[in-house]
Amino acid sequence: MLPPVFNVLFDGFAYGMLLFVLSVGLSVTLGMMNFINLAHCAYAMLGGFVAVTLVDKVGWPFFAALPVAFLGAAAAAVVLERTLYRRLYKAPELEQVLLTIGIVFMSVATAAYLFGTVQMPIQTPAFLRGSLNVLGLTIGVYRLFLIAAGLLVAAVLVATLEYTRFGARVRAAVDNQRMAAGLGINVEAAFAITFALGSGLAGLGGALAIEIIGLDYFFAFQYLVYVLIVVSVGGLGSIGGSFLAAVLIGMSDMFGKYYFPEYGAFFIYAVMLIILIWRPAGLFGRR
């Protein structure tokens, strides 16, 4: 029989997997182009709302809605990248921050207008509900699913980076943008694709998140902080860093909220500050 702290750690790990799927896209695109995209969670929110609409209003099965959430978010990213983002690649950070905050404001307002301010429910398949009793711990089935999904995403990403030509180009661009361009790599094209994929992943994460952390019009803002913490702690451009940081933050947050409820979110802000001050480029970042 395992003590209850393992329950908290398990839940934290599952939460970390969710944070990973949500954050990894931002980490890679930040590492590649240094473009500060604070609207990242707006794509996540979009994916979530797409999933909710498909499942609840149109009646699609949950698993069919997931890829559409991914694609919807990716499509939105492509549109915004082509029209707005690409003009600001060389602009000062503040402008990137403000453009993307503006997009977040607009998406939050639109979501409230279209869906109201209530929590969105979602119908997950029956076999994902409920929990198992393992070694005295209550293991939520959906959380197990999340962990599997997170690991799968991580595996696919690592495989893509290591074994495909596209992945090699991405790695080169993250490593040294000027050199990569000098070697003939079309960095902007690689970035556009990476950005679309990263935002798509955020959309997927948004859809997956509904069951665990809920979805409402404020999601784009609310979880932005967590995602930024994961990205800065993990180090820009690092999948392994995002993974580790997401797990760390996920577990710290669960741990803090469970054992020290009076201090709430205090805990992870403190963790973030300590790590950033010790290693300003993040656990696995360069610079």
Partner 1 sequence: MGTPAAAATPYIFLKSQARWRVAEIIFWLATLLPFVLFPNYLSLASQIAITALFALSIDLVLGYAGIVTLGHAAFFGLGAYGAGLFSKFVWGEPLTGLVLAAAIAAVAGYLSSLVVVRFRHLAIIMITMGFGLLLHEAANKAHWLTGGTDGFQGVSMWPILGYFTFDLWGYTAYAYSLVVLFVVFLGVRRLIHSPFGLSLKGIRENWTRMPAIGAPSQSHLRKAYTISAAIAGIAGALLTQTTETVSLSVLSFERSADTVVMLVLGGTGKLYGALVGSLIFMVARDQFSGINPQLWYFWIGLLLVAVVMLLPNGVLGGLTQLVQRFRGKQP
CB of 73 to partner 1, least distance (A): 18
Selected from 71, 75, 101, 128, the binder of partner 1 by CB under 8 A is 101
Applying CB under 8 A, among 17, 19, 30, 52 the residue interacting with partner 1 is 30
State the binding string over 39-78 for partner 1 (x if CB under 8 A, else -). ----------------------------------------
Q: Which of 63, 64, 89, 93 binds partner 1 (CB under 8 A)?
A: 93
Q: Which stretch binds partner 1 (CB under 8 A): 6-14, 91-99, 181-189, 243-251?
A: 91-99
Residue 194: which residues within 8 A CB-CB, separation 6 or more? Answer: 25, 28, 29, 32, 170
The angle, 0 to 180 degrees and rounded to 10, between the axes of the packed helices 187-213 and 62-83 is: 140
- Token pair belonging to 160: 């893509």
**Number of other CB atoms surrounding residue 56 within 10 Å:** 14
The reply on whether position 192 binds partner 1 by CB under 8 A is no
Q: Give the Å distances, CA to CA, from 10 to 17, 137, 147, 265.
A: 11, 9, 10, 19
Contact set for partner 1, span 199-218 (CB under 8 A) = 217
* 174 is an interface residue for partner 1 by CB under 8 A: no
User: Minimum CB separation from partner 1 for residue 109, in Å?
Assistant: 3
Q: Does 264 bind partner 1 (CB under 8 A)?
A: yes
C-alpha dihedral, 25 to 27 to 29 to 35, nearest 10°: 130
| CA–CA dist 47, 128 (Å, integer) | 20
Do 20 and 179 meet the contact criterion of CB atoms below 8 Å apart? no
**Which span (8-16, 70-78, 201-209, 257-265) binds partner 1, by CB under 8 A?**
257-265
Q: Considering the rule CB under 8 A, would residue 97 count as an interface residue with partner 1?
A: yes
273 binds partner 1 (CB under 8 A): yes
Instruction: Provide the minimum distance between the beta carbon of 242 and partner 1 in the complex, in angstroms, as a whole number.
Output: 14
- Compute CA distances 120 → 59, 67, 117, 151, whole Å: 15, 19, 9, 26
Kindly state whether residue 272 participates in binding partner 1, applying the rule CB under 8 A. yes
Which residues sit at the interface with partner 1, rule CB under 8 A?
30, 34, 36, 84, 87-88, 91, 93-95, 97-99, 101-110, 112-113, 217, 225, 228-229, 231-232, 236, 262-266, 269-270, 272-273, 276-277, 280-281
